[in-house]
Structure 1
């Protein structure tokens, strides 16, 4: 008996249960899995597409359409986080995401994304029409499979080709009202498509070390900073031409046209700053990539103003 007591006394205390359990997910983690910042932009551009479409849609159906666009975008984001959990764990700006941080099980995240994808597409089809539902399904597949699983880790053109993933909402919103796809939503798609490279490449210039560490072939990692700066400028020029085009094509009026011209010229100015940034012999910034950071921040304002101008132009 005494021996048993001594042995028991010498045994280390059992670890607390909480010490061996991973942190618990709370509702905010499930929301973060949907990439809410991306959703806000998607909802805005989708709502503009719905607002400017010719024809009529009831308030209830319109609300469901916007909800489904948001839900579909979030579902694609959840699948993206499930697939990218290995590289997210290596990058500073993504290491605290719910899956790499251990707060959400990867399999649960995948199930979550798949279920929300199906619900969003089916619900949109029931509330509006097949064209809108099919467009949403294609956008989810584009982001979750074509961009995330195929392009992102294989080519420095991942952002260029993958830019289509975030460009669908205006088309989906338009289709929800009309049941078809017109030229104007295609041009709005093109605006987001050509906006994406200078937007993301500006970010990748000052996050290049993170991308290199994770093995993602972003343009600065594969082709170097100097080549990336030139491409930022080239795509900003293309974007200016595309953004202004609805005006001379008489799809939108002077309120939009002048807004697009001013904002695109301003964005081009910021992108010129990226190109002309003081660099060392290897093309690396001597200013801490301040112009790239400024261009990235302005790019967010740019897209908001451009799409807001579309709505205002239709109102007046």
Structure 2
């Protein structure tokens, strides 16, 4: 009987740990930083690559854990989040705080071992996400602009880890992931609008599922598309893109833009959910094209 209890409890502790650190989201962020590293590096150093992946994971995991501590009462009000470890009572705030603090320390130490700038940007992203973005979510839609800054750091962080230099190249990578986040987050804010409303979160730019929000989704999709092809023109230093890859990246941007326009036309939660799924595929595919282009050029 006792064996049975253990076997039931073990996965639940593991799944709670995965949820408090949002493992899937954290891994997608790690993917972005690895892509940035591969773009910036002359020869791949697998030790630094592993340190970057670990440090990045700890930083995002820490941000997510702090976020869930701060929002525990609001999470309890929403269908999507009420079964998270803290509001559901499976994890104490103290346990979550210990995880978040240990993850922060490990993340900063590991990133510092790569170089100082990487650790600095990692620390900035935790601070902005936890201390600025999270409290602003219940106050103003501007929170999405603030949240887009830490969200755009990982792609750039990889380049800085590779080169110990912040210039036009990581700036371009930052801009690309920064603009992409608006259609992505507003799509989520649209199809979870009623759930967010219960907790008093203001995620959409106009505060409503209206044409004004849909137009902004289209505008930021266009900005993302334009920034994504800038490296083909040759003025972003070592960050370059061949014409063939630029055409592929442009086509991917049009694919996301199509779903943004479709949201404007249909104004449905289903269309918003489809745009969110396409935006997730877009960012990963775009990063893969950039990396492959560098290594076959």
> C-alpha separation between the residues in 1 aligned to 2:197 and 2:78?
9
- SS at structure 1 position matched to 2:231: coil
TM-score (norm 2): 0.90
Is 1:297 aligned to residue 284 of structure 2? no
Map 1:4-83 → 2, pairs under 5 A: 26-56=13-43, 58-83=45-70
CA distance in 1, matches of 2:194, 2:53: 37
Deviations 1:7-43 (A, max 9, x none): xxxxxxxxxxxxxxxxx96122112111112112101
Structure number with the higher helix fraction is 2
Q: In terms of mean alpha carbon deviation, does 182-191 or 76-85 score higher?
A: 182-191
For 1:203 and 1:58, how far apart are their aligned partners in 2? 37
- 1:69-104 per-position Cα deviation (integer Å, ceiling 9, x unaligned): 111111111111111111111111111111111111
Which of 145, 150, 174 aligns to 2:159? It is 174
2:6 corresponds to: none
In the alignment, the residues of structure 2 paired with residue 101 and residue 163 of structure 1 have an alpha-carbon distance, to the nearest angstrom, of 29
* Superposed CA offset, 1:205-261 (max 9, x none): 121111111111122772442321121111111111111112123522224311220
| Counterpart contact for 1:199–1:299, Cα < 8 Å | yes
From 251, 255, 258, the equivalent of 2:247 is 258
**Could you tell me whether the CA contact under 8 Å between 1:90 and 1:214 is conserved in 2?**
yes
CA-CA distance at 1:182 after TM superposition: 2.7
| 8 A contact 1:56–1:177 mirrored in 2 | no
Residues 247 and 253 in structure 1, CA contact (< 8 A), matched pair in contact too: yes
- Rg comparison, structure with higher value: 1
Contact 1:122–1:133, Cα closer than 8 Å, also in 2: yes
SS in 2 for 1:246: helix
2: CA distance between counterparts of 1:252 and 1:201? 29
- Deviation (angstroms), 1:160: 2.3
| CA apart distance, 1:57 | 5.5
Q: Which of the numbers 93, 105, 110 marks the counterpart of 1:123?
A: 110
Structure 1 stretches of 5 or more lacking a match? 1-23, 278-284
Q: Does 1:91 align with 2:78?
A: yes
CA distance in 2, matches of 1:276, 1:44: 33
Is 2:258 the counterpart of 1:269? Answer: yes
Distance 1:226 1:208 in 2: 15
Q: CA deviation at 1:165?
A: 1.4
What is the aligned partner in structure 2 of residue 215 from structure 1?
Answer: 200
CA contact (8 A) 2:206 2:213 kept: no
TM-score of the pair, normalised by structure 1 = 0.85
Shift of the alpha carbon at 1:172? Answer: 1.6
- What's the RMSD between the two structures over aligned residues? 2.0
Q: Is the CA contact (8 Å cut-off) linking 1:25 and 1:103 kept in structure 2?
A: no
